[in-house]
Chains A and B, each alone.
Chain A
Amino acid sequence: MTLNAYLILSTILFCIGLIGVLRRKNVLMLFFSTEIMLNAVNVGLAAISKFHGDLSGQIFAFFIIAVAASEVAIGLGLLILWYKRTGSINLDDIAVMKG
C-alpha cells in the first residue's frame, strides 16, 4: 500500500469525527467523535512514520493516546457532575452564556 492510501483513510476517518462534532448535541457523542478524530490522526502519523523510516510519528501517536486518556477522565468527570446538577447531557443546556 502507498502512503497516499493511508492518508486518504486517515482523512475520511477524521471527517467522520468532524461531522460528529458538528452535528451531535449529545455531549457523550461529542466525546466519542473526538476519540475518532484523535485515532484518525494516529493512523496518519504511524503511516508517515513507516514510509519515511522515522520513529517520531509513532512517539507522537503515543503522546496523543496519553492526551486522549486524560481528556476522557476529566471530561467524563465534569459531565457526571453536570448531569447530577441539571439532569441533562444536551450541549445546548451547557451554553449558559447566551450570545
Chain B
Amino acid sequence: MFEIVAFIIFSVLTISMFSITVLTNNALYALSSLAAGMIFISAFFFLLNADFLGAVQIVVYTGAVMSLYAFGMMFFDSLAEVKEKTKNPRLVFLLSGMLSLIVVIVFIAPIIGQDVEANYPVHPEYGNSVDVGLVLFTKYLVPFEVAAIMLLVAMIGGIVLAGKKMNESYSEMKEDEIDEKIKLDASKKDDK
C-alpha cells in the first residue's frame, strides 16, 4: 500500500517537473525543475531496492551535473530569448517516430522469444552496495576501467575547451558591455 502511494506521488511529481523543464522558456526555471526531477527519480531507485544507485543519482546528478550546468550558465546570456520555430514539425515527428520504432524492433526481435534468466542474481543477505560492488569489480571490471578512462578524457577535454580565454568573464560585465564585446568579436572574425 505504502509503495503504491509513494509510486503515484513521485511519478506525478517527476512528470510535472520534467514537463516544466521541457516546456518553459526560462533557462533558470528549467535548471531548477530538472534538479528537482532528478531527486524525485532517486526515490524510484530506493523503492526498487537499488539503494546505492539512488545515492549515486543524488550525488552525481544533483551534486555534480546540475552544478556543472549552473556554472556553465554563467558563461551564457541565459535569459536571452532563443527564437524557436520548427519548420515542417509533422514531417520531423513522423520520421523520428518511425526511426525509433524500427530501432526498437531491431533490438527487441532476438530477445523477445527467449525467457530472460538472471545471470547475476541478487543476494538479499549481502545488502545492495556489497552486491553491486561484487558484480562491478568481478564481471564488469574492464568496462569499469574503460569508463574511468572515458571520464578522465572528458575531464581533460572539458578543461581544454572551456578554459580558453578565462581572463574575460561575462559575469563581471554589464548587459550592454557583453553585447558590444560579442559584436566586436564577430566583426573581428569577419575581417579574417
Q: Interface of A with B (CB < 8 Å)?
A: 1, 5-6, 9, 12-13, 16-20, 22-26, 28-29, 31-33, 35-36, 39, 42-43, 46-47, 49-50, 52-56, 58-59, 61-63, 65-74, 76-81, 83-87, 89-90
Contact = CB atoms under 8 A, between A and B. Distances in A.
Contact of B118 (A52, A78, A87): A52
Contacts, number: 211
B83 A80 contact: no
Contacts of A79: 72, 76
B151 A81 contact: no
Contacts of A17: 18, 22
B102 interface: no
Contact of B161 (A18, A70, A78): A78
A77 B135 contact: no
List the 6 closest pairs (A to B, CB-CB), nearest first.
A77-B161, A70-B154, A87-B182, A73-B158, A20-B22, A54-B118
Given A55-B121, A70-B154, A89 B18 contact: no
Interface residues of B, number: 82
Given A24-B84, A54-B122, A77 B157 contact: yes
B61 A65 contact: yes
B41 interface: yes
Contacts of A28: 27, 30, 69, 73, 76, 78
Contacts of B116: 52, 54
Contacts of B49: 50
Contacts of B183: 87
Given A28-B76, A87-B186, A56 B48 contact: no
